[in-house]
Every structure is written in C-alpha cells, then in structure tokens.
A and B are shown apart, each in its own frame.
Chain A
Amino acid sequence: MHKKRVARRKFFIFFVFSFLLASLFLRLCYIHFFRSSFLKEVANKQHSEFIEIEPKRGAILDRNFSPLAINLSADSLYAAPKEIKDKISAARKLSQILNLEYSEIVRNFSKDKSFVWVARKLSPQQAQTIKKLKIEGLGFRKESKRSYPNGYLAANVLGFAGLDNQGLEGIELFYNQQLAGSKGWSIFLRDAHQRKLIEESVLLAKDGYSLVLNIDEVIQFIAETELERGVEKFHAKGASIIVIDPFTGRILAMANRPTYNPNTFNKALAEQRKNRSICDFFEPGSVFKIVTATAALEEEKVKETDKFNCENGEYRVANHILHDHTPHGILTFSEVISESSNIGTTKVAQILGPQLIYKYIKLFGFGDYLGIDLRGEVKGVTKPVSQWSKTSIGAVPIGQEVCVTTLQLASAISCVANGGMLMRPFIVDSIIDENKTEIRKNYPLVLRQVMSQETAGRLKDILVKVVEDGTGKAAKIDSIKVAGKTGTAQKVEPNGTYSHTKFIASFIGFAPADNPEIAIAISFDEPHPYYGGVVAGPVFKEVASQTLRYLRKRNLDDEVMYEAKRITP
C-alpha cells in the first residue's frame, strides 16, 4: 500500500516536472520557430544603430589652389524636452547665447517629442559656452558646416550651401552633384546608455570632388576693391565687373555690388545675392558701337579714313532727332568711334542696313546664352529686324532698343582682343578628387568666328584711339597700350521714356592692346556723374594696371632675387 502511494507520488512529481520541462521545451520551440525574427528585430533595435554617414562636401579652390570654400565641423544643439528640468531658466540662458527669441525656445521645449533641434551649426564659442552650463536634456551633434574664409570675396560666383550642405546658388548649386558626394551608412553596436561601441558593418561615404576655378584670388580682390571704391566715389546703386582671359574665355574675376557674406547668407537680401553680371540686362549704349564698327569693317562697307558728316550734333531719323553728346562736324570713321558720335554711327548703320547689323549682333552672342557654368544666365533682349521700327536704325547700332549683360560685353570685347573668336566663358577649370587627381577638365571652346583677324586688328587700332585721344582717356595706363570703348546709356523710366537722370556707365577694354592678357567689362548702375569714361574708365585703369603687374610679378620673382643679390654689400 505504502509502496503504491510512494510510486504514485513519484509518478506525480515526475509528471509535473516532465510537464514543466515539456512546456519549457514547447515554449522554446515556439520562440525559436515562430517569434525569432520579431525578437531578433527588437534586439537589433536595442543593440544596434543604423546611421547615415554624411559625405564631406568638396572644397572650392581658386586657380592657385587657395581655398575659397571649405568644410568645418560644427556642433548642432538638440534638446530632449522631457528631460529638461527647468525649461524657463534653460530657455532664458540659451536665448542670450544663441540670439534667438525666448518664446521660440520655450515653444520647442514644450513639444511632446523626444528630440527637437534648438539651433544648427553653432560657432565654437557658442557651443563651448552652452557646454559649460551643463543643462540636462541638451545634447550636441556634429555636423559639417560650409565656411568661406574670404567672406564676401567672389560671393556672387561661389554662391552658398544651405543647412543641409546642398548648394543653393552660384557654383555651389551648378556643381552640387560633384561637390556633394554620396552618403554611406554604418551599423553600430551600442550599449545600455545608447553610446556607440563597435562598428558591425559599414559602407563608406564617397566624399565630394573639389573644384578648381579659373578665378584668381588676387585678381578677384583687386577687382572687388576697385569696384567698391568706384561705387562709393560715384554713389552708384550697383556695379559689376568681369576680368576675362580673352583667348580662352577663363573668368579670372567676377564681382558685383551690392554683395553679401556667404557665411551669413540667411541675412542677405535677394538683391545682394544675385549675380548681376549674368542675370541683369541693360541697354548698353555706346559700348555696343563695336558691333556696328565690326560689321562695317568686316563687310568692307567702310574704311577708317572715310568721312562722315556728324551734322553738328543733330540728325533726324524718321520722326526722331538724334543727338551727339558733343557736336561734331566732319569725322573719319575712326574718329566716329573714338569720339563716340551717335550720328556718325547711325550713318554707318544706314549704309550697312538692318539685316547686316542684326547678323553681327547675333554673331557676337547678344540675345543668346553664352553657356557659362552658372545658373541664372539671361539672354538679354534683341529685336529681330521684322520688329524694328523706322527709328530703330538710329537706336540699335548705338546700343538702344537692345539689352545685354556684362558677361556678353566681356565676351564681345574678348572677341576683338583675340582675333575674332567668340569664346565660351567658363568659371571652373577642373574637378579633382582628394588626391588632387583630375576627374574632369574644362577646356576653352570656340563658339564661332565673328570676324577675321584682319578686321579685329583694325578695330583694335580704332579702340586704342578711343583711349589715346577719345572718350576713354581716363582708362589710359602709363607705358601700356589699352584698347577700349566707353558707354553712357540712359535707363528707361517705368512710363517707357528715357530718363535724364538715371544712366548706366560702362567701359569695355583689353590690355596690352598688342598682346592682350586680360579683357575687362565694367558697368555702373546710376552713378553720379554718369559718363562711362569718367566713372568706369578710371576703375578699368586701376584694375587692369594692377592685374597686369600681378601677372607679371610671377615672372619677376627670379629677376628681383637676382637684383637683391647684386646690390647687397
């Protein structure tokens, strides 16, 4: 009996334990076969972290490899609102340091989120000050910040990259794909405090390529300084200047006023950010006479010594009286251009006829895109002959009823300088990787032949006379022959009439005339006084002379060293 009871108890205990074991086993099988993937996911989420690796944005360098745009690591401040104990005090302290609205910070702290940005990409001083406060619930994350060590230098060309390191204007935008690179990713093991530990797998980010520009920092600085001086001296509303290599189309400098500091692009107005050299067009006035002169010489309709009666400053074209700024009598064709006689030019144009004038306007690239590697280039405005009125023959050849950009003027004068070729202007010379290996190179491109070399030579001689004896005397440089043309154009009022108080003053030229190294186009918007020769001419002189000295200085280094050795005792 007793034995049976013991056996039954043994069996019962055995059964219970077997049952428990079987349950455990079944539970194990259930977890292993049916819940493993879900639980693995939960474990992975807890233990691992997937992060995107931001690629380094490529740098932008000038032609001497001086950096114009680079990346810095910057701390961005975030908050975990639930973890901040004293939100009011924290918000007050942060608003003082960050210069943000107190109410905005408080609003951020009141959000029902575990993560909110407070401020992105702080300066090192701001980050340091906030770290010292040791406010619980605040944290920092490293982000890449685009920085421009030269400030406003070439700002309108470079553009800027936004908070997420995407190009928004200028070169930063046009070449964004090459600069940006591609993101990578990494899976990290993390600990109980969410700190990253061991990298499990990684796909490295592909850093962006760097750009080497044709822009020369020194020439850009010279151009910007002299342009700034001109704007201040003549109280102009705005101005732009382009320095270009006439034989290749390489843009050595491009500057505008007003401008801005790309490090604080969010504080800049649209007026300051736009690149007016390529996206503002205006009636060019007398600088446009090079088109008429080219047509006349190339078509052999006129010779330099042919005489024209400039009607003592008044000439009727259809129902309009044309005036010269200074009355002239009989002038040779050469003098018509050098003295910038509107009447003389109109008479030349009447010999040529509208069709030929329009042909050369289009040959020079006016009314078309030149294809510069920047966004926002405008074509300007040219009227086809079918839309010309009876007075247009007295307007278009002297630079009215046609709208051009400073870039088009720079390309046009380059054409004369280089023997008649219209070159495509371009900013970027090459794209390189981090080892300075060239990935892509941009080469000069001839768009078309506008005139023969002979015509270019003849026109050049006439333009030299503009500076030696004509309206461009203020652009004369000692011991260097300069060729150029002045322009003073009335602006159009809102009611459609020409203003008597608002002008565009411009000068286009190249130097040295016999062996051109640079061509420059300058325009001033509403200067006082308003004559191109008076306002833009001196700026051309300063920029050209300093630029030529700089370009020659590179070759003079050896010479100077020799001189120094020779004269030291």
Chain B
Amino acid sequence: MRLKKAFSIISAVNIFALLIVYQQTEITKYGYRNKQKEDFLQQLADKRNYLKYELEYSKSLRNINDRLFVKEANFNLPHEKQVVLIQMPSQVKAATSLVKAANKEQTLFSKVFFWLTPTAEAQAEGGE
C-alpha cells in the first residue's frame, strides 16, 4: 500500500517534470522558428529598403541628368504656353473609330428605314 502510494507520487512527479522539460523544449523550438522568421522578415525589409533606395536613385533628377547627358541636350522645363498632345489610350481610339463609322453618310435605305437599322452608338469608356 505504502509502496503503491510512493510509486504513484514518484510517477506523478516524473510526469510533471517531463511536461516541464517538454514545455521548455517547445519554447526553445518556437524560439528558433521565430528567430528564423525574424531573420527572413528582416532580410525582406532590408531588401525593400534597398529597392526603395534604388527607386529613389533611379528617379532622382541628378541621375536622369547624368544618364541623358543633359549638358548637351539642354533639357529645360517647358514654357507655360506649350501645348502638349496626349496619346490616346487604345480603348478610346477604338471607340472614336466607331463614332467615325457611325457618322459616315447614311444610304437612302437607312435614311428612310432608320427605325429598322440601328445606328452605331459609340460610347467611350473610362476616364482620362
């Protein structure tokens, strides 16, 4: 009886001790995993910063100036009265060609029976 009691107490203590050890190993394992993730995130953050720097460097006026040899080209800010023609996006081009097609001279047939022949209505989509 006494032996049984002693045995169960010792077992309980051992199990408890093992649980603690297991907990510590898990903590250490998660510690390593976290460290790895931290290092990886830090690498990404560093890369991001470096790319940001490269971006700023590439778009810096000084860099553009050096690369385009501005001294010879004599680039200058545009005068305020210069008109700039903006290239139309492809959807707008397609839409405007439809409008042109619709605006072509109608046949007598279509003029008389306009209610039978629907005119093409171009709708330009999208903004500027």
Report A's interface with B, CB cutoff 8 A: 66-67, 70-73, 124, 142, 147, 149-153, 189, 191, 195-198, 217-218, 221-222, 224-225, 229, 546, 549-550, 552-553, 556, 560-561, 563-565, 567-569
In angstroms, Cα B54 to Cα A72, docked, is 11
Question: B79 on the interface (CB 8 Å rule)?
Answer: yes
Q: Which residues of A have CB within 8 Å of B46?
A: 72-73, 142
Query: Min CB distance, B116 to chain A, in Å?
Result: 30
Q: Which residues of B have CB within 8 Å of A224?
A: 62
Query: Min CB distance, B73 to chain A, in Å?
Result: 12
Q: Which residues of B have CB within 8 Å of A198?
A: 27-28, 31, 34
Question: B117 on the interface (CB 8 Å rule)?
Answer: no
Nearest first, the 3 closest Cβ-Cβ pairs linking A and B are A149-B56, A197-B31, A73-B46
Select one of B32, B60, B76, B79 contacting A151, CB under 8 A. Answer: B60
**Given A151-B63, A546-B77, A549-B79: A72 in contact with B50 (beta carbons within 8 A):** yes
Query: Min CB distance, A231 to chain B, in Å?
Result: 12
- Chain B positions 41 through 64: 1 when the CB is less than 8 Å from some CB of chain A, otherwise 0: 010011001101100110011110
**Given A70-B53, A197-B32, A565-B128: A549 in contact with B83 (beta carbons within 8 A):** no
Q: Which residues of B have CB within 8 Å of A546?
A: 76-77
In angstroms, Cα B57 to Cα A72, docked, is 13
In angstroms, Cα B63 to Cα A561, docked, is 28
Q: Which residues of B have CB within 8 Å of A196?
A: 35
Check B35 against A197 for contact (C-beta < 8 Å). Answer: yes
Check B53 against A195 for contact (C-beta < 8 Å). Answer: no
Q: How large is the interface on B (under 10, 10 to 19, 20 to 34, 35 or more residues)?
A: 20 to 34
Select one of A142, A225, A560, A568 contacting B88, CB under 8 A. Answer: A568
CB within 8 Å of A: which B68-112 residues: 70-71, 76-80, 83-86, 88, 96
Q: Which residues of B have CB within 8 Å of A552?
A: 80
Question: B65 on the interface (CB 8 Å rule)?
Answer: yes
Of the A-B pairs whose beta carbons lie under 8 Å apart in the complex, a sample of 16, sorted by A's number, is A72-B49, A142-B42, A147-B53, A149-B53, A149-B56, A150-B60, A150-B61, A151-B60, A151-B62, A197-B32, A221-B61, A221-B65, A229-B71, A563-B83, A563-B84, A565-B128
**Given A197-B35, A198-B31, A568-B86: A153 in contact with B80 (beta carbons within 8 A):** no
Q: Which residues of B have CB within 8 Å of A222?
A: 77
In angstroms, Cα B49 to Cα A553, docked, is 31
Check A569 against B56 for contact (C-beta < 8 Å). Answer: no
Please give me the residue from chain A that is nearest to B100 by CB atom. Answer: A569
**Given A73-B46, A560-B84: A189 in contact with B77 (beta carbons within 8 A):** no
In angstroms, Cα B53 to Cα A549, docked, is 29
Check A197 against B28 for contact (C-beta < 8 Å). Answer: yes
Q: Which residues of A have CB within 8 Å of B60?
A: 149-151, 153, 217
Check A67 against B56 for contact (C-beta < 8 Å). Answer: yes
Query: Min CB distance, A176 to chain B, in Å?
Result: 22
Check B52 against A70 for contact (C-beta < 8 Å). Answer: yes
Check A221 against B53 for contact (C-beta < 8 Å). Answer: no
In angstroms, Cα B80 to Cα A473, docked, is 23
**Given A153-B60, A567-B83: A225 in contact with B35 (beta carbons within 8 A):** no
Q: Which residues of A have CB within 8 Å of B45?
A: 73
- A72-B49, A221-B65 are known contacts; what are 16 more A-B pairs with Cβ within 8 Å? A124-B50, A150-B56, A150-B62, A151-B60, A151-B62, A189-B31, A195-B35, A198-B27, A221-B61, A222-B77, A229-B71, A546-B77, A563-B84, A564-B86, A568-B85, A569-B96
Please give me the residue from chain A that is nearest to B88 by CB atom. Answer: A568
**Given A195-B35, A563-B83: A152 in contact with B77 (beta carbons within 8 A):** no
Which residue, of A67, A152, A197, A221, has the highest number of chain B Cβ atoms within 10 A? A197
Q: Which residues of B have CB within 8 Å of A151?
A: 60, 62-63
Please give me the residue from chain A that is nearest to B79 by CB atom. Answer: A549
Query: Min CB distance, A142 to chain B, in Å?
Result: 8
Query: Min CB distance, A235 to chain B, in Å?
Result: 16
